[in-house]
Chains A and B, each alone.
Chain A
Amino acid sequence: MKPFTYERARDAVAAARAATRPGAKFLAGGTNLLDLMKIEVETPTHLIDVQDLKLDRIEKTREGGLRIGAFVTNTALAADERVRRDYGVLSRAIVAGASGQLRNKATTAGNLLQRTRCPYFYDTNMACNKRKPGSGCSAIGGYSRQLAVVGSSDHCIATNPSDMNVAMRVLDAVVETVNPEGRTRAIPIAAFHRLPGNTPHIETTLEPGELITAVTLPRPVGGTHVYEKVRDRASYAFALVSVAAVVQKDGSGRVAVGGVAHKPWRVEAAEAAMPNGAKAVTATLLADARPTRDNEFKVPLVERTLAAAISQARTA
């Protein structure tokens, strides 16, 4: 690990202000950041620990939804009675990811900001535009079985590895932040994660120093909540493809897909076809898919996983 200095922030605005210092980074659970610091993919010179900011509560909003503090752990979020009852897809997605030990430490904001698991991002001997802008992309033309099939660019085919983010996207979550001047803003999850384009190192629409303070969920939308994850082993593996779906009694519903793009993939226009089944939805959802030879299996796999999710919802 490269040397760094460490501080514990006492309030959110002070934390945001400290983060404008070059080389500074927020530290929440640390399960992703410290892993990357050990292999020097991440080399912050200053860490701002946000654990004392009292962002570890889940409370009701005036609109009838939930406000989840940025520091709420994955375990606490998945176990919350209101989340299990009203936002089951979120609990399901979280417990489908990582291990018990990691979920006890990983936080809500940290999960939103989780870096890709593209092997070329991890291997510092390989070209990676995300790790070293302008260096190229060894994944394109390399071993790309795990990587993106849609929304990718000639500069990056990495995927967003999070399960939680897929559920947040299907639930229309909103990311609340505060900036170094103390101004707050609310970013809809659809506008939070970016596609790679020609700047794959810029992964979100957060501005320098901007600190995530909470994620809010709108009023419960009812329906049957399903998270269907396909992976190489039964537990503790990243998704090849995952589907978060909320299906209503009349067959209508919404769907977001993980493991296929640089961000949780949802195309609202595709959802009109939900009552017609998985094939019709997938045709629109992945209309612009550009898979590689290694990962072209993901296109039919999305359709089949969605079919499984819809059928699970109907029999629930």
Chain B
Amino acid sequence: MADSIEFTVSRRGMIVGGAATAMAASAPAEAQTRKSTMPADPPAMPVTLKVNGKAHALSLDPRTTLLDTLREHLHLTGTKKGCDHGQCGACTVLVNGQRINSCLSLALQHDGDSITTIEGLGTPDKLHPMQAAFVRHDGYQCGYCTPGQICSAVAVLDEIKRGVPSHVQADLNARPQASGIEMRERMSGNICRCGAYSNIADAMAEVAGAKA
């Protein structure tokens, strides 16, 4: 970033540069020293991601999260940035079939991984069964948490099928059932500020062929 400012000569660049110089002139000496010793941006690194079936070769600042890569570099804005701290679940995507918070992962950690976002689950013409069930059961209001909710819901049913245990399971050694209480517990990492939870549970129950 620093480089591009130095070498781009434009009217806007000149004005910005001029203002910065003026500010620096009046800033205390300590701030100037800190500025000059500030580490430069680290070199970009190559990473290849397979997103919704399509391979992308990218060159990224190591700080770039998987979430920002999807939204800002691949322009797949279906995945949402809510809290950006792994607390709300709006950024949930599937990595090699498993759901994770894409905000708490660096893109570089996922070199060669297969990522499925809400755009890859279904299309407006051919909805994924979970997307269709959310529509049918009115499983959202504002819709901001919905892509994360749907990705998570798809993964939850798969986790139940694979026998991944949960906190509400009475017998750890029995196979978990797609019951209402199981699905609610497993969805606790997805927050819906509008409070569409009961409709989300209904949508999931329909897809699982169970009772909410």
Q: A residues bordering B, Cβ < 8 Å?
A: 1-6, 27, 30-31, 34-35, 38, 45, 47, 49, 51, 75, 78-79, 84-85, 88, 91-92, 95-96, 98-102, 104-105, 234-236
Contact = CB atoms under 8 A, between A and B. Distances in A.
Interface stretch (B85-93, B120-128, B195-203): B85-93
A3 B41 CA distance: 6
Nearest to B156: A100
B99 A91 contact: no
A4 B84 CA distance: 19
Given A38-B84, A105-B101, A3 B167 contact: no
Interface in B26-68: 39-43, 45, 62-63, 65
B165 A78 contact: yes
Given A4-B63, A75-B164, A100-B189, A31 B45 contact: no
Interface of B: 39-43, 45, 62-63, 65, 84-86, 89, 92, 98-101, 104-106, 108-109, 152, 155-156, 159, 162-167, 169, 172-173, 184-190
B172 A101 contact: no
A10 to B, nearest CB: 14
Given A85-B173, A95-B165, A31 B62 contact: no
Contact of B155 (A6, A84, A100, A102): A100
B62 A79 contact: no
B169 to A, nearest CB: 8
B56 to A, nearest CB: 18
B172 A84 contact: yes
B99 A47 contact: no
A143 to B, nearest CB: 19
B89 A99 contact: yes
A85 B173 CA distance: 7
Please name the 7 residue pairs, one residue from A and one from B, whose CB atoms are nearest each other, closest first.
A99-B189, A235-B188, A236-B188, A6-B62, A84-B172, A1-B63, A95-B167
Contact of B172 (A88, A96, A236): A88
A257 to B, nearest CB: 19
Contact of A31 (B63, B104, B156, B184): B104
Contacts of A88: 172
A78 B43 CA distance: 39
